Amino acid sequence: VSVRDEKNEAKTGKMWGGRFAVSLDPAIHRFTTSLPFDQRLARYDLLGSLAHARMLFERGVLARDAAAPILDGLAGMLRDVESGSLAVSGDDEDVHSWIERVLGERIGEPARRLHTARSRNDQTAVALRLYVRDAILRCHRAASSLAQVWLEQAAEHTETLLPGYTHLQRAQPVTLAHHLLAHFWSLRADNERLEAAYARAGTSPLGAGALAGTPHPIDPARTAALLGLPRVFPNSMWAVADRDYVVETAFACALLLVHLSRFAEEVVLWTSAEVGFAKLADRVAKGSSLMPQKKNPEPAELLRGKSARTIGDLTALLTLLKGLPLTYNSDLQEDKEAIFDALDTCEASLRAAAVLAGGLELDVAKMRAALHGGFLTATDLADGLVVRGVPFRTAHEQAGAAVQMAERRGLELWELPLDELRVACPRADEDLLGALSPEASLRSRRSPGGAAPAQVREQLELARAALDKGLRFSAEQRPSPIRLAFEQGRLLDEEIV
Ligand code: ARG
């Protein structure tokens, strides 16, 4: 370190101070710093730095007398960050600069060797990938918990009838189990998307340098393995420019929130006096500051509203990348707040949704009552006529006429006297009349994936297996080798996997 370097670094306060004579304008510093938000990457950057330093040591780029204090210093910082005794603060320009500065304060001169064969461009990319993977797992687990709540409720309600709706008009009898499982399957697909995003984020960019690689004899596959990342970048320019895994994660979050918003909207509808299929337990409802009688489904409304944020985050990220030339550009620093927000919102919403779902007091009598007066089994009448040889289009017409007749007489379809029904539907018989109750209709819907209780019981088995698959996925994710070596104090051992 020349005297001049140290002087200028002190003067500009920057790790890149050498070529600058005057320090950064404070307003520009405040505008460009990412420390206020990227500080949550600290633990992930420290792990990335540990892996990098360990690899440099193994490759002989760092001698033991430098590697030992660096690994030790980074480990100490990681311990202190995780215990809360070391808080990220200062006027550093980002968390990466903060780590290097604090490491320097702790271990002195050797810290100046850590950044060998590394750039903040590959450094920030690997830290963000590790962060995103961790946060995806938290969302994934929270989604499994909500899925479990729906599954348990479904298992209790394979015989609970209610109208299924199209156009928000009563359509055909279904069961509450079938309805809840429809939400379950959306969430299962969300978890599959999270798993795919997790895999996508599993490519290590560490070792790309600023953009073109490095002359030092590094081993990017080794740092990837140490970090538990299954793949290594094939192209150093791509490595520092790629944020597709961020977009894909944000998309998984946004669609998941859209699904939650659909569930939430049903909670709002169902708990309205107009529908009344459910009431909210006190612990999941809120009141009005003015109207003493109110009990509002605020958690559900907020779930509905939170989806807007995640759609905004996804839109921001896509817009950020659109037209961005290769490779790293500071625009990319804007990726963080958007993806942090999407993942935070996703996890918090899932946890709230699970509590909300558990706080629904379902009124099965109200659901049952809603099967009346809407001629929900008119399709069964048409289908029964088809079985008796009538072409479907004709049967549809005849059943429609029967609906008109029942409506005029103020009767349910199954209450029409057979001779009157026959005026509209000449092929109708006693058996067909008997098939027009909501229960009979439900039991007849035995096609695969249909609403019949027998089908739904099979579906429940599939759902349990799918949930188990998801639970296995999250249980299989193990701490990375570098993390284990850190925890076991073996960072300088001959062999650490
Ligand atoms: N704070 C930066 C970010 O979040 C880190 C990378 C900075 N690289 C650079 N060449 N300025 O993207």
Residue 150's contacts (CB-CB under 8 Å, 6 or more residues apart) are 180, 181, 183, 184, 187, 357
34 lines ligand 1 (CB under 6 A): yes
pLDDT band at 2 (very low <50, low <70, confident <90, very high): very low
Q: What angle do CA 367, 373, 378 make, to 5 degrees?
A: 100
Tell me what the mean pLDDT of segment 112-116 comes to: 97
- Given the CA of residue 94, which atom of ligand 1 is nearest to it? 1
Both tokens of 421, joined, read 């029904």
Only one residue has tokens 């027009």, namely: 436
Looking at residue 188, its pLDDT comes to: 98
Q: Give the residue-averaged pLDDT of 112-133.
A: 98
1, two tokens: 């370190």
Give yes or no: 396 in active site.
Answer: no
CA distances for 138 relative to 131, 132, 194, 350, 404, angstroms: 11, 10, 10, 10, 54
d(CA 226, CA 287): 52
Of 496, 447, 465, residue with least CA distance to 178: 447
In this prediction, residue 8 has a pLDDT band, given cuts at 50, 70 and 90, of low
Q: How far is CA 158 from CA 44, 153, 176, 332, 454, in A?
A: 46, 9, 7, 50, 9
Backbone dihedral angles phi then psi of residue 204, each to the nearest 5 degrees = -80, 130
For 347-364, the pLDDT digits (tens) are 999 999 999 999 999 999
For the segment 327-352, the average pLDDT, to the nearest whole number, is: 98
pLDDT tens-digit readout, 398-410: 999 999 999 999 9
Q: Which of 5-14, 209-218, 304-313, 428-437 has the lowest mean pLDDT?
A: 5-14
pLDDT band for position 14 (cuts 50, 70, 90): confident
**Rounded distance from Cα 162 to ligand 1 centre (Å):** 55
Q: 121 in ligand 1 pocket by Cβ < 6 Å?
A: yes
Residue 21: left (phi > 0), alpha (psi -120 to 50), or beta? alpha
* β strands within 221-324, DSSP E: 231-232, 278-280
Question: Mean pLDDT throughout 100-113?
Answer: 98
For residue 342, how far is its CA from the centre of ligand 1 (angstroms)?
21
3-state secondary structure of 94: coil
Choose the catalytic residue: 83, 85, 167, 330: 167
From ligand 1's centre to the CA of 124, what distance in Å? 7
Sequence-ordered list of residues with C-beta below 8 angstroms from that of 81, at least 6 positions apart, any chain: 42, 43, 46, 88
Residue 289 pLDDT greater than 80, yes or no: yes
The DSSP code sequence of 47-69 is: HHHHHHHHHHHHTTSS-HHHHHH
Nearest to 352 by CA among 289, 296, 283: 283
DSSP 290: S
Cα 293 to middle of ligand 1, angstroms: 54
Does ligand 1 come within 6 angstroms of the Cβ of 124? yes
Q: Tell me how far CA of residue 320 lies from CA of 197, 309, 332, 333, in angstroms.
A: 19, 16, 7, 10
333 touches ligand 1 (CB under 6 Å):
yes
Asked if residues 342 and 254 have their Cβ atoms less than 8 Å apart, the reply is yes
Q: How many other CB atoms sit within 10 Å of the CB of residue 169?
A: 8
More confident residue, 6 or 324: 324
pLDDT at 9: 61
Quick one: which of 226, 253, 267 has its CA closest to 315? 253
CA distances from 288 to 28, 293, 356, 444 (A): 45, 8, 19, 46
Nearest-CA residue for atom 11 of ligand 1? 330
* Residue 21 confidence (pLDDT): 86
- The residues pairing with 360 across neighbouring beta strands, listed in sequence order, are 280
Tell me if 38 CB under 6 Å of ligand 1. yes
Q: Which residues pair with 386 in a beta bridge?
A: none
- The secondary structure element, H or E, covering residue 439 is helix 438-444
Question: In this structure, are residues 104 and 112 in contact, taking their beta carbons and an 8 Å threshold?
Answer: yes
DSSP result, 158-175: TT-EEEEEETTEEEEEEE
**Per-residue pLDDT reduced to its tens digit, 29-46:** 999 999 999 999 999 999
Atom 4 of ligand 1, nearest CA residue: 333
Is pLDDT of 270 > 80? yes
Average model confidence (pLDDT) for the chain?
Answer: 96
Q: Percentage of the chain with pLDDT > 90?
A: 94
Q: Which pLDDT tens digit goes with each residue over 242-264?
A: 999 999 999 999 999 999 999 99
Please state which of the ranges 249-258, 286-295, 459-468 shows the lowest mean pLDDT: 286-295
In this structure, which residue's CA is closest to atom 12 in ligand 1? 333
Each residue's pLDDT tens digit, 57-98: 999 999 999 999 999 999 999 999 999 999 999 999 999 999
Could you identify the residue written with the tokens 């309205």?
A: 272
Over its C-alpha atoms, the chain yields an Rg (Å, rounded) of 31
- Looking at the CA of residue 332, tell me the nearest atom of ligand 1: 12
Copy the structure tokens of residue 475: 């249980």
Q: Could you tell me the CA-to-CA distances from 353 to 6, 108, 147, 222, 346 in Å, in that order?
A: 54, 49, 10, 41, 10
The residue type found at 206 is L
Residue 130 to residue 198: CA distance in whole angstroms? 10
Q: Please give the structure tokens belonging to residue 160.
A: 């609970």
| Residue 167 appears among annotated catalytic residues | yes
How close is the Cα of 120 to the center of ligand 1, in Å? 6
- pLDDT tens for 185-204 read 999 999 999 999 999 999 99
Given a cut of 90, whether residue 11 has pLDDT beyond it is no
pTM score above 0.85: yes
Query: Cis peptide before 223, with omega less than 30 degrees from 0?
Result: no
